[in-house]
Structure 1
Amino acid sequence: MAGRLRRLGGVAFRQQKWKSSLSTQAKMPPCDFVPEKYESYPYERMQKIREQNIAPSLKTYYKRPLLLHQGHMQWLFDHEGRRYLDLLAGIVTVSVGHCHPKVTMATQKQLARLWHTTNIYMHPAIHEYAEKLTSLFPDPLKVVYLTNSGSEANDLAMFMARLHTRNFDIICLRGGYHGGSPYALGLTSLTSYKHGVANGFGCTTGVNGAVQYPRNFLKEAYQLIRERGGLCISDEVQTGFGRTGSHFWGFQTHGVVPDIVTLAKGIGNGFPMAGVVTTKEIASSLAQNLHFNTFGGNPLACVAGAAVLEAIEEDDLQKNSEDVGTYMLLELAKLRDKFEIVGDVRGKGLMIGVEMVTDKDSRRPLPAEEISQIWEDCKDMGVLIGRGGLYSQTFRIKPPMCITKRDVDFAVEVFRTALQRHVNKAAAK
């Protein structure tokens, strides 16, 4: 231990001091990983750069934004060496764990071999990955077009559907979010993402807080669309790659096969990659004229994607999502039964939403400032969670799929403590 303290300098001491302040509330599970000493700019200089040189639309979480330095599986470390349990996974992007050794080693090896070549040439990685990825889909979804982001994938899916059907209008769900590009924003009805200019013409309306479809909803919706000559697109950007636990893809839980599937986020465990999977017939519609992507399917991305698929299988992460996710849902349900302000606990696998209300009878959203304080308290106790819902009233819990039941016990206890603090403050007023 003395050697470890010497390597970390003052960082280890600060972390130990910080952890001791939590001992009366919740005991953070042990972690053998030792972060490197932070040696970049001071926090204050980072803040100044943020104010002067980074677009103000790129907002940060928390009153005092975190300055993150390093990650290891389900854990994040800030510039002072403080450790946090990441229950948001880089907005549902880190699937197999921060800096997963298999993905890290694969990308490091490819970095030394070939970073980039466009699709005008062949290279092994894209062909190997395309075969692995499409093998996980039912027939006839066997053709993939690789892109760089979920927004781009959803844009392309809409474009493909319009080309193939020669129809124009698109129907999506209120409260859903499918990307930040001007085209994809047309699929979004959340006012916080709207900027008062026209976008996404022909779209009629996620981030809504892990809301599950009613039984048979998708089957009936798909039937109605197809009877009218339409195509059905499944956005698996967050629900894919085993996160729901029972199945590898979210659409499989409803017994349907879409015409087009979009993928991103967990596909690369944080590497910027995405894709559209569809039938050969629909994909051929795009081949009528030139459509080109410079970076999509580059060697580095494909190697990262293949390593992610291997890690999911080798670490049995789909099963872990089911087991740990079910355990977490049941533990959070106990808090719903105890606290009047917890209106609902819902989800599947490691996609969970906790809806906050003023009371269970009215189900009015808990005021934003009260939700923010609970959120801040959780962060101060070492747990990072997200926000969502039409009124930002739902806590989003979507951690890396390597999370353990011991981590869940810690997270639930932290959340319980934060809720109890809120109740105590309200009673004292």
Structure 2
Amino acid sequence: RQQKWKSTVSTQAKMPPCDFIPEKYESYPYERMQKIREQNIAPSLRTYYKKPLLLHQGHMQWLFDHEGRRYLDLFAGIVTVSVGHCHPKVTMATQKQLARLWHTTNIYMYPPIHEYAEKLTSLFPDPLKVVYLTNSGSEANDLAMFMARLHTRNFDIICLRGGYHGGSPYTLGLTSLTPYKHGVANGFGCTATMLPDVFRGPWGGSHCRDSPVQTVRKCSCTEGACLAKDQYIEQFKDTLNTSVPKTVAGFIAEPIQGVNGAVQYPRNFLKEAYQLIRERGGLCIADEVQTGFGRTGSHFWGFQTHGVVPDIVTLAKGIGNGFPMAAVVTTKEIANSLAQNLHFNTFGGNPLACVVGAAVLDAIEEDGLQKNSEDVGTYMLLELAKLRDKFEIVGDVRGKGLMIGVEMVTDKDSRHPLPAEEINQIWEDCKDMGVLIGRGGLYSQTFRIKPPMCITKRDVDFAVEIFRTALQRHMERAT
């Protein structure tokens, strides 16, 4: 099914205008930065691209390198810059608090933590009204595991293959992607079950997921029924019946898998999985580190798109627009389980973080970013689907709002991942033409598109045209 391509690569699309002028770069030369990187920064902290970018400044959806070149940021600091780089409202609130009080720890009362706790929890349904503020997603998921085990007096936690829930020794047991696994003991009490992936998994069809774009796989399901969901639930039951005790501590899942490439489950899968876990005495944990704060468009929280209410919700990344903060939101009853002994966090909920978090919530509301995520995200998904229909190597386009994955394959029939060297070249071409996108999936075969939620349809037109050009260049190299 490989198509023949003529030399039809169009002139590079024109980047949308931006009236922001970056400051002149005045730090070390690029070569010195490279040397410092090699000598003084941990080698596990890897950089993207053959020639890593040296980024100097950011403004909303734009990034500028040390030479003043502008890039459209479609990865948002790994799904972290939610309202835009250096958003004026967030910046102003931060500067004001910097001059007032940075830190004092929560052994004292101070206004920002109380104001923010009230504002954040007001966005959750009952009974999720208690928050414990932390500093990172790994830390939040670590605490969620601890809470679930304390509250239920059970130990085992179920997770999904392909999930990413952190890199700490505790959460590594939940993270089920080989590239993040180290050869040390981890995962005691954590059991990964089959991922209900309707594109790459054994079951899936053309009506399974909550997305404007479905898979190219066909199915014969009647309206309101989903055979794929039923099969994956049977696998979930099999795990419960064979791999864990009769009672469990909990089940954790991302509403849409992030690091694994925006993988979506069949409709109603989470609803039935939650019911099965609760029947065994466990708590249901929603990892909203990437899906939260309006990114999915139709709802503020990803779990709401599944029609469920978790027992514990973990938040990070977009919560602070890049400021290091995170949170665990739960019920009063579950939170009380942690109060039987001391549990303290030095930096969690510090005055500066709380002011940043509150300003981010204000920006999302005042700028209409949840609605923008829905409108612009749907538009982008449909435009990318046109490329899927045109190019054999674009196997799947999926997602919801501005949580998008584009999975690359050798061909749609086999669904074999496109070789890494070919994906790398497409990725490099996009960067060279001014568009930054992420990578994900077990084989790094999926492009992750999760930009600041302030991007526009004009930005999307530019990005899609750049991606189309990169795909055409790839096809020409292949012939």
Fold shared, TM-score > 0.5 on shorter chain: yes
**1:212 to partner: Cα distance:** 1.1
Match of 1:417?
A: 469
Contact 2:5 2:475 in 1 (8 A): no
Q: 1:406 to 1:280 in 2, by over 3 A?
A: same
Q: State the SS of the aligned residue for 2:431.
A: helix
* Cα distance in 1 for residues equivalent to 2:370 and 2:58: 22
Q: CA RMSD in A?
A: 4.3
**Runs of 4+ with deviation above 2 angstroms:** 14-24
1:208 CA displacement: 1.1
Correspondence 1:175 to 2:175: no
How far does residue 199 in structure 1 lie from its aligned partner after superposition?
A: 1.3
Q: Any conservation in 2 of the 1:15–1:83 contact (CA below 8 Å)? A: no
Change (3 A) 1:282 1:376: same
Shift of residue 211, structure 1, vs aligned partner = 1.1
Structure 2 vs 1, CA of residues 268 and 368 (structure 1 numbering), >3 Å: closer, same or farther? same
The offset of 1:16, in angstroms, is 36
Deviation at 1:330, TM superposition (A): 0.4
Contact 2:75 2:437 in 1 (8 A): yes
Give the distance between the partners of 1:291 and 1:282, measured in 2 at CA: 14
| Closer/same/farther in 2, CA of residues 223 and 27 from structure 1, 3 Å limit | same
Structure 1 residue 372, shift from structure 2 partner: 0.5
Contact in 2 for aligned 1:15/1:81 (Cα 8 Å) = no
Would the alpha carbon gap of residues 22 and 82 (structure 1) be closer, same or farther in structure 2, given more than 3 Å must change?
farther
2:2–2:392 contact (8 Å) kept in structure 1: no
Native 8 Å contact 1:15 1:82 kept in 2: no
Asked if 2 retains the 8 angstrom alpha-carbon contact of 1:341 and 1:360, the reply is: yes
For 1:22 and 1:63, locate their aligned partners in 2 and report how far apart those are by CA, in whole Å.
23
Say which of 103, 108, 114 aligns to 1:121. Answer: 108
Task: Calculate the TM-score normalised by the size of structure 1.
Answer: 0.93
Q: CA deviation at 1:76?
A: 0.2
Query: Kindly tell me: are residues 19 and 422 of structure 1, through their superposed partners in 2, closer, same or farther at Cα, counting changes over 3 Å?
Result: closer
Count of residues in Structure 1 that have an aligned counterpart in Structure 2:
412
Is the contact between residue 167 and residue 175 of structure 2 (CA under 8 Å) also seen in structure 1? no
Does the 8 A contact of 2:102 with 2:351 survive in 1? yes
- Check conservation: 2:298, 2:401, Cα contact below 8 A: yes
Q: Equivalents in 1 of 2:422, 2:37: separation in Å? A: 27
2:82, 2:19 → 1: CA distance? 21
- Structure 1 CA distance for aligned equivalents of residues 6 and 35 of structure 2: 29
Superposition map of 1:268-307 within 5 A = 268-307=320-359
Task: Tell me, yes or no, if the aligned pair for 1:356 and 1:371 is still in contact at 8 Å.
Answer: yes
* Cα separation, partners in 2 of 1:15 and 1:289, compared to 1, 3 Å: farther
TM-fit CA distance, 1:25: 1.1
Shift of 1:21: 17
- Paired with 1:26 and 1:94, the residues of 2 have a C-alpha distance of 25
Q: 1:264 aligned to 313, 316, 339, which one? A: 316
Contact kept? 2:6, 2:476, Cα under 8 Å: no
1:241-300 residue CA offsets vs partner (Å, 9 max, x unmatched): 000000000000011000000000000000000000000000000000000000000000
- 1:148-180, CA deviations, whole angstroms, 9 ceiling, x for partnerless residues? 000000000000000000110111110010111
**Structure (1 or 2) with the greater helix fraction:** 1
The verdict on how the C-alpha distance between 1:49 and 1:18 changes in structure 2, with shifts beyond 3 A counting, is farther
Asked if the contact 2:7/2:476 (under 8 Å) is kept, the reply is: no
Change (3 A) 1:15 1:345: closer
Q: Is residue 2:239 matched to residue 1:187?
A: no
Superposition deviation, residue 24 in structure 1? 2.2
Residue 17 of structure 1 and its aligned partner are, at CA, apart by 33
CA contact under 8 A between 1:177 and 1:187: conserved in structure 2? yes
Unpaired runs of 5+ in structure 1? 1-13
Contact 2:9 2:469 in 1 (8 A): no
Residues in 1 aligned to 2:471 and 2:106: alpha-carbon distance in whole angstroms? 52
| Identity within the alignment, % | 94
CA distance in 2, matches of 1:97, 1:222: 34
Q: Deviations over 1:380-402 (max 9, x none)?
A: 00000000011110000000000
Say if 1:120 and 1:21 are closer, same or farther in 2 by CA, change over 3 A.
Answer: farther
